[in-house]
Amino acid sequence: MSHYKKLCDHYKKISNFNHLSAIGSWDQAVMMPAGGNESRSSAMAELSLHIHQLATAPHLGELFDKAASEDLSQVESASLREMKNQWQKSTVLPDDLVAAQSLAGSKCEHAWRTQRGNNDWSGFAQNFKEVVSLSQEEAKIRADASDKTPYDAMLDLYEPGVSCGQLDDIFGSLKTWLPELTKKIQQKQAGETFIKPTEVYSAEEQKLLGLDIMKLLNFDFNHGRLDISSHPFCGGVSQDVRITTRYDEADFVQSLMGIVHETGHARYEQGLPDSLKGLPVGQARSMGIHESQSLFFEMQLGRSSEFINQLVPLALKHFPDNNPAVFEAANLQKIYTRVAPGLIRVDADEVTYPAHVILRYEIERDLMNGKIGCQDIPELWDVKMQQYLGISTAGNYKDGCMQDIHWTDGSFGYFPSYTLGAIYAAQFMASMHKEIDVAACIAAQSLNPIFNWLHNNIWSKASSLTTSELVKQASGEELNAAHFKKHLEQRYLG
């Protein structure tokens, strides 16, 4: 057996345990009774430690050296690169830190689900301080091993090849034109009238509507399902994708687009190549590319006038007794393209959304680099919310610095992926338009040409290319935020 094949067998074993970990995490967030958290957290910590030990097995280093001299195909060489990258990122962390982080994260997240509703920052901070301390320890270890800043080392876990310097340039540019664009759009929309949803939209009917939309988007129900959680997410594994949403019976708007968003994540996972399943090279390229797919579905596709036209008959089918004027295409279009600064990131429109991301990026960057502490977060959050969105969150922790789940388990470095994803999505759509009449495909309910483009250029590549190689091959250029700006101007001011 070749050394490369031995590595493949080892990483497929790791993949099997990661599969169980993913489903265990999904169950913990969706199905598990509250009283099971302590026991589950212990079990998940034990599993995390076992996976870490497999990922850092001493004999892997020798196998990497020997496999590098074997006659490998282009894909196999990329596979070896990705396995080695994962190994290098795993070996720097000691076992006791991995186990401690798993326990602290589970404890913090579970308590957050109650503490957020109670606006209990002081209670949350007691658990959160431990998560931050352990993450800072991880960041320093990774920084020392890679000659990066602590935050850059954490960012590399989610966006390989991207640095703070690049993000500062991209986000700095956005901050120069987004405020004025937001103001112009609000001025334009000030004179518009539309009918807001005011009736009862049962959670069950919203779910049925969501399932119909998932069918339209070619979600594979033989390899996935839809459930409810306090924070929408896409989890599980590519062969068994678990997406969740939440329902507000006074407003169907957010849950529907939340389902479209999570379906984009799921279609990417379901579209990864079977031939590479279980290997690092067969995984999604980066979180920014993952978010590009969910935002392509939700923003580029889902909020287009052509797609909203497809929603009308489905909505009327599920809500026949509600005010039909709400579901007229022109009215839905106004609802789904309304621009207004708000408190909650997941409810934000696509124009103001980057401000929410930039705020979080700047705070977590300084937190990991040791420039600020946990106690500084509420005040900084309020200052930046006022600066970027004109809204105060003083004393309102549940709608301010406690609103996201990401930091509860130490996912520092994740947030930039959202806005990078929005930029990638606009760039991919601009390239797609050169080859496909996208509007005509949506209007005809013939979405396969769109999905085929995504499959051929993004999904089927998995991690065989670097992020920059993938973007350049798909669009003909490196990441270019000009496409995002053009998209927003055309949709909202055109």
Condensed to tens digits (0 to 9), the pLDDT of residues 123-158 reads 999 999 999 999 999 999 999 999 999 999 999 999
Contact 429, 486 (CB under 8 A): no
pLDDT given for residue 365 in this prediction: 98
Mean pLDDT of 206-228: 97
- Tell me the two tokens of residue 73: 């195909």
Q: How many CB atoms lie within 10 A of CB 470?
A: 20
- Non-local (6+) Cβ contacts of 371 within 8 A are none
CA dihedral 75, 51, 232, 294 (to 10 degrees): -10
pLDDT tens-digit series, residues 290-310: 999 999 999 999 999 999 999
Q: What is the DSSP string of 125-148?
A: HHHHHHHHHHHHHHHHHHHHHHTS
Burial of 467 (0-12, 13-18, 19+ CB in 10 A): buried
**Right CATH number for 148-494 from 3.30.750.24, 3.90.1150.10, 1.10.1370.30, 1.10.3720.10?**
1.10.1370.30
Domain residue spans of the chain: 3-147, 148-494
SS (H, E, C) 233-245: CEEEECCEEEEEE
How sure is the predictor about 109, in pLDDT bands with cuts at 50, 70 and 90?
very high
- Tell me the two tokens of residue 172: 């700095």
Q: What is the DSSP string of 262-312?
A: HHHHHHHHHHS-GGGTTSGGGS-S-HHHHHHHHHIIIIIITTSHHHHHHHH
Burial of 311 (0-12, 13-18, 19+ CB in 10 A): buried
pLDDT given for residue 376 in this prediction: 98
DSSP E strand boundaries for 173-265: 224-228, 234-237, 240-245
pLDDT tens-digit series, residues 130-139: 999 999 999 9
Mean pLDDT of 322-344: 95
pLDDT given for residue 231 in this prediction: 79
pLDDT given for residue 494 in this prediction: 87
Q: In which residue are the tokens 């589970």 written?
A: 106
- Tell me the two tokens of residue 130: 């431990």
Mean pLDDT of 343-362: 96
pLDDT tens-digit series, residues 165-191: 999 999 999 999 999 999 999 999 998
Which residue numbers are catalytic? 262
Q: In which residue are the tokens 């995390």 written?
A: 48
* Distance separating alpha carbons of residues 465 and 79, to the nearest angstrom: 10
pTM for the whole structure: 0.94
- Mean pLDDT over each residue of the chain, to the nearest integer: 96
pLDDT given for residue 265 in this prediction: 98
3-state secondary structure (DSSP) of residue 338: coil
Q: In which residue are the tokens 């390989």 written?
A: 160
Burial of 291 (0-12, 13-18, 19+ CB in 10 A): buried
pLDDT tens-digit series, residues 251-263: 898 899 999 999 9
- Tell me the two tokens of residue 14: 């790791």
SS (H, E, C) 419-480: HHHHHHHHHHHHHHHCCCCHHHHHHCCCCHHHHHHHHHHCHHHCCCCCHHHHHHHHHCCCCC
pLDDT given for residue 97 in this prediction: 95
- Non-local (6+) Cβ contacts of 348 within 8 A are 342, 356
For residue 77, give Cα distances in angstroms to 63, 156, 460, 465.
14, 21, 17, 11
pLDDT given for residue 346 in this prediction: 87
Contact 277, 237 (CB under 8 A): no
